[in-house]
Amino acid sequence: MSVAAAAPSGMTDVQARIAAIQARIGTLAAGGNVAKPLSGSLGLTASAATGSFSDSLASALGSSDPSSDGSEGSDGVLGLGSSSALGVGALGSTAGVSGTASATGAGSTGSVAVSLAKDYLGIPYLWGGTDPAKGLDCSGLTKLVYGKLGVTLPRVSADQSKVGEKIPSLAQAQPGDLLFFHSPVTHVAIYAGGGKMVEAPHTGAKVRVSDVWATPSVIRRVLPSGPSATAATGAAGALTGTPYSALFQSEGARAGVSPALLAAVAKTESGFRSDATSPAGAVGLMQLMPSTAAGLGVDPSDPRQAVRGAATLLAGYLKDYSGDVDTALAAYNAGPAAVRSYGGVPPYGETKAYVARVRAAMQEVST
């Protein structure tokens, strides 16, 4: 089915607006690095001289944001809710990373765990507590935080201290590592870097950021090391065994976007299902909203066109945000307006978890 045939009422007006925009905007990258529109495309591009890719797309669609109002829980360009609705939200027993694309290993991986842990600052300590509405104990906090990242930890700190990679000393610890105290182990905290940690300390206290007040008896790393900058924004592995790998490779090369990043978005959003539809109406392999897909000139139910549309979006966002993969993913999920409002990844729990899941999926499809 062609995009033109599927165009909603009023699409002619949208196309007219886009034609006017096309008259004053150039290509996204001087070398033609952005994906070229498919036949029938509305031809969205952008340049530094005429504004960001996000602004051009928003203008073409006649709105301040090409996806939604940017509020937490909105489906955004593709809709985080689709993954949960389809039962593909959890990506196994590992999780991903946050921060800009870098080769900092588990430090960037663990930073999202630290950020999520800080969401619970001020929650009262409750022995045996696992519900933040009532209170949390030390291992209840860590189990909750890592559970949001797809890592299933045992319930008590003594058992948690046996999970993951053992780190020799605090000097080698990175943000997101688990610090255990006493022998036998009776307390656990999340290392935040710089000699600080997030912990639910004891009865009468609240979840807090504190100094590492003693030498940990055990340190464990339960999160995987993050992809390197090359894996995040440039060349990628062979994607061995990944569905649609040839599409991700070809469209990634066309747009200058990592094929692993495209594959990871597809895995997180639809579980590689081209027939997926979210409750908010996001469609297909890459879970594009129909209006966004129309603006990009692609049919979101067609795998090749969906991947090309997603590659175009991600290439534009990566250019807008100076190559910051996490911010580009946040814009893809929550919308550029939310990114603009917060000056980076919005503090929405679901968006932070979404970025982490995509990062984890990048590692999975690249190995």
Q: How far apart are CA 127 and CA 131, in angstroms?
A: 11
The string of DSSP letters for 168-181 reads S-GGG--TT-EEEE
Q: Concatenate the DSSP letters of all residues of 302-345 into one string.
A: SHHHHHHHHHHHHHHHHHHTTT-HHHHHHHHHH-HHHHHHHTSS
Is the C-alpha dihedral spanning 141, 143, 146, 149 positive or negative?
A: negative
Known catalytic residue at 165: no
**DSSP tag of 29:** S
- Please answer whether residues 190 and 199 qualify as being in contact, where contact means their C-beta atoms are separated by less than 8 angstroms: yes
Residue with tokens 């100076």: 322
Asked if 45 contacts 34 with a C-beta cutoff of 8 angstroms, the reply is yes
Q: Which of 199, 251, 269, 364 is catalytic?
A: 269
Beta strands in the chain (DSSP E): 130-131, 135-136, 165-166, 178-181, 187-193, 196-199, 208-211, 218-221
Distance between CA 116 and CA 9 in Å, rounded?
A: 42
Amino acid code (one letter) for 336: P
Catalytic residues, which ones? 269
